[in-house]
Amino acid sequence: MNKRITMMSIVLATLMLVSLFAAVSSAASVSAQTMAGTGPAATSSGGVVTVPAGYSGYADFFAVDTSGTLWHTPIDGNNNWDSLGGVSTSSPAAVSWSSSYFRLDVFVRGTDGALWQKYYQNGWSGWHSLGGQLAAGTGPAVSSWSAGRLDVFAEGTNGALYHKWWNGAKWSGWESLGGKLTASPAATSDGHKIDVFVRGTNAAVYQKYWSGSAWSGWISLGGQVASNTGPAASQSGWVIVQGTDNQFWQRGGVGGNGWESLGVAPPEALCASSPGAVSIPANEHALVIFSSTSGNVWYGIHDVTGLISEWTSAGSPP
């Protein structure tokens, strides 16, 4: 009898946790700005054969408001944000990985410290827990090298980098890749290898990559990244950071020509959070996205010089 009561208690507690995370915030709880300390995420749906109505085929943005609700908007000039619910405690990470149909995956750190996932494929799924314990104040990173393959990275509570992957049929367990992180990681894949970028204990950027058979050691890319922020990376190989001067800097990863200013200064003060980046279809450069201290989301796109010449407002969750 006691065993049955215990099992029922566990089931009820689990159902309550899932219901709490999946609950959609009411309009009254939406704060009209992004949560302090969190940045937005961007993913490109370029190359997808069929894009549903309401999606631009250009890029999709995700941001968390001060109540922890996740919001989404396609970049179509209308800045119409829609609620995806949940109770997030970090910047989101997002990726699109199918060239034959429209698939988006987004990941966040939940109030329980675990990794949570939601995806779009003929409609949005509910929230799913993938377990683990992410360091407080940090969010996950995600990349995909092909349809059906996802690689998620996070800082563990011991400061090391952890990796979990989806092989098209099931999720792996968590594996430690070592290192000592001091902010959320960034990850990207060009279809041949995976690159992960982190902020080290000396505030410099470090890179680790998977070549198809083994993980490399840690490689220093130098630079100085602002406290409580991590790098962003695009599939075209650009690494973008918020410097200690509160401006954006970029370089081309290993073999790059060093750090250079991203271009024109941001129109509003930068929030103490990681920026996001994604490659634009048919363009070797990147779209960069960030949250300002006013709670707005801004984005800019590399011009022919490889710099950003202007910033555009995507507004904020309504």
pLDDT in tens, the chain (318 residues): 444 334 334 333 443 344 434 433 333 333 458 998 899 999 886 544 455 555 555 688 999 999 999 999 887 667 789 999 999 999 999 998 866 667 899 999 999 999 999 999 889 999 999 999 999 999 999 999 888 899 999 999 999 999 999 998 999 999 999 999 999 999 999 878 899 999 999 999 999 999 888 999 999 999 999 999 999 999 888 899 999 999 999 997 556 679 999 999 999 999 999 999 998 765 567 889 999 999 999 999 888 788 899 999 998 887
pLDDT at 293: 93
Q: What are phi and psi of 15, to 5 degrees?
A: -60, -40
The residues that bridge with 105 in the sheet, in sequence order, are: 95, 119
Is 210:227 a contact under the CB 8 Å cutoff?
no
Joined together, the tokens standing for residue 58 give 């250009």
Q: Which residues, other chains included, contact 145 with Cβ-Cβ below 8 Å and sequence gap of 6+?
A: 151, 189, 190, 191, 192, 193, 194
Q: Which two tokens stand for residue 233?
A: 């990376």
CA 146 to CA 78: how far, in whole Å? 31
2: CB partners within 8 A, 6+ apart? none
pTM of the model: 0.87
CA atoms within 13 A on the CB side of 86: 34
- Angstrom distance (rounded) from CA 242 to CA 42: 17
What distances in angstroms separate CA 52 from CA 61, 80, 106, 119, 125, one per listed residue? 16, 16, 18, 14, 16
CA distance 78 to 55: 11
Q: Is domain 2-315 classified as CATH 2.120.10.70?
A: yes
Nearest Cα neighbor of 252 from 279, 227, 228, 274 is 279
Residue 268: exposed, middle, or buried by beta-carbon count in 10 A (0-12, 13-18, 19+)?
Answer: middle
Tokens representing residue 304 in the block? 């022919």
Return the SS3 of 40. Answer: coil
The per-residue pLDDT for 283 is 57
Closest CA to 230 of 26, 71, 37: 37
